[in-house]
């Protein structure tokens, strides 16, 4: 019996890359091989030299098709088998390998918004719903929009074997969150990209689209972020390394280096309002949801744990944010003798 492999990759339409996929019919027992695609249709090549290479890096069961069918997440390579310039995973792989001894792990909170046509789910035609306040973790048809899609997506993630750890309704109607992790950097980012693909694919069957737009409705409505929770072994064992990591993220040019790569349109979301810190001012604090980086209260109480970088936009590339945080924090921890 043949089976279907859905090859998934990240295209070259930066700064807000899209996911692409296509199907390969495989013979029983075969491993998904290296494959190719037309890079001129994805912002990854010119028409006169358009071939690009798909290198499988993470395979899991396909919960949509079921049976023996699989999803195959790929890196994009040039035809000389070196990483294409849009391939941010290859860079993360290097940095993650360099600091693997510190056992870094990530939990990423992916916020997103459902749209039906040009309006978020729950927004009436030509107007606005009741102001924010009751929607976050709400219940009931007056507060919740799209739960059937959310439940189907969660089931699909679990059937695919992805390391999702929860879901919740968010502050704006039609806005939701799922969490991936805690997992090692490459795993967390791979699982998040596949979970995003499954989100779009699941919603498609409901006639709904999902967007990672960081500020889908202008004005007094919450944006969508991707809070990135991080720890190393040392941070999970003591409080000193927690502070070292928070300080490292605020040192010199680091705040700007990070924020510039934390997703397109970051200044529209990090305004200082709606549970954000201003994009151009770094701060950290215990339990502070208005800080750039939050130390959860249990972490202060226990004297160990993890930190939450609240700055990344919903549309951040998880290969980039995990690389930046590992590089900045693990370098500082090494220097401080806390590796």
By CB under 6 A, name the binding residues for ligand ADP.
105-107, 109, 165-166, 179, 181-182, 227, 229-231, 236, 305-306, 308
Question: Is 11 exposed, middle or buried, given 0-12, 13-18 or 19+ CB atoms closer than 10 A?
Answer: middle
Place of tokens 């339990």: 287
User: Using CB distances below 5 to 8 A depending on partner kind, what does residue 230 bind out of ligand ADP, Mn ion, none?
Assistant: ligand ADP
Pick 138 or 240: Cβ nearer Mn ion: 138
Least distance in Å: CB of 124 to Mn ion? Answer: 24
Pick 308 or 327: Cβ nearer ligand ADP: 308
Instruction: Say how far apart CA 90 and CA 77 lie, in whole Å.
Output: 10
Instruction: Say how far apart CA 278 and CA 138 lie, in whole Å.
Output: 28
Q: Which residue is nearest to ligand ADP (CB)?
A: 107
Pick 72 or 108: Cβ nearer ligand ADP: 108
Least distance in Å: CB of 64 to ligand ADP? Answer: 24
In this structure, are residues 140 and 116 in contact, taking their beta carbons and an 8 Å threshold?
Answer: no
Provide the binding-site residues for Mn ion, judged by CB under 5 A. 109, 177, 227
Pick 56 or 107: Cβ nearer ligand ADP: 107
Instruction: Say how far apart CA 109 and CA 72 lie, in whole Å.
Output: 23
DSSP structural state of residue 179: E
Least distance in Å: CB of 289 to ligand ADP? Answer: 8
For strand 209-211 and strand 105-116, is the pairing parallel, antiparallel, or unpaired? antiparallel
Least distance in Å: CB of 321 to ligand ADP? Answer: 13
Assign 35 to helix, strand or coil.
strand
How far does Cα 97 stand from its chain's mean position?
A: 20
User: Using CB distances below 5 to 8 A depending on partner kind, what does residue 229 bind out of Mn ion, ligand ADP, none?
Assistant: ligand ADP
Pick 35 or 136: Cβ nearer ligand ADP: 136
CA dihedral 63, 68, 71, 73 (to 10 degrees): 150
Q: Which residue is nearest to Mn ion (CB)?
A: 227
């Amino acid at each position: 019996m043949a089976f279907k492999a859905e090859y998934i990759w990240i295209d070259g339409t930066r700064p807000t890359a899209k996911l692409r996929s296509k199907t390969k019919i495989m013979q029983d027992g075969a491993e998904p091989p290296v494959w190719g695609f037309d890079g001129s249709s994805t912002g990854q090549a010119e028409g006169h030299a358009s071939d690009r290479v798909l290198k499988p890096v993470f395979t899991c069961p396909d919960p949509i098709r079921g049976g023996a069918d699989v999803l195959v997440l790929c890196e994009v390579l040039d035809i000389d088998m070196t990483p294409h310039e849009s391939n941010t995973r290859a860079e993360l792989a290097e940095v993650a390998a360099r600091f693997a001894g510190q056992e870094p792990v990530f939990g990423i909170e992916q916020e997103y918004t459902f749209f039906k046509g040009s309006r978020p789910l729950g927004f009436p035609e030509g107007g606005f719903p009741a102001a924010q306040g009751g929607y976050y973790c709400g219940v009931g048809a007056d507060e919740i929009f799209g739960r059937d899609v959310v439940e189907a997506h969660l089931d699909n993630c679990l059937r695919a074997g992805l390391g999702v750890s929860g879901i919740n309704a968010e502050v704006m109607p039609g806005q939701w969150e799922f969490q991936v992790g805690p997992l090692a950097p490459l795993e967390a980012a791979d699982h998040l990209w596949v979970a995003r693909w499954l989100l779009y694919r699941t919603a498609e069957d409901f006639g709904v689209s999902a967007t990672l737009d960081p500020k889908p409705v202008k004005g007094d409505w919450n944006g969508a972020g991707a809070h990135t929770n991080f720890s190393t072994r040392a941070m999970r064992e003591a409080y000193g390394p927690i502070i070292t990591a928070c300080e490292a993220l605020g040192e010199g040019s680091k705040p700007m280096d990070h924020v510039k790569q934390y997703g397109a349109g970051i200044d529209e979301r990090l305004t200082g309002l709606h549970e954000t810190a201003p994009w151009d001012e770094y701060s950290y604090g215990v339990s502070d949801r208005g800080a750039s980086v939050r130390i959860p209260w249990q972490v202060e109480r226990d004297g160990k744990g993890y930190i939450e970088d609240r700055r990344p936009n919903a549309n951040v590339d998880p290969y980039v944010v995990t690389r930046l945080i590992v590089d900045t924090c693990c370098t500082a921890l090494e220097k401080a003798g806390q590796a």
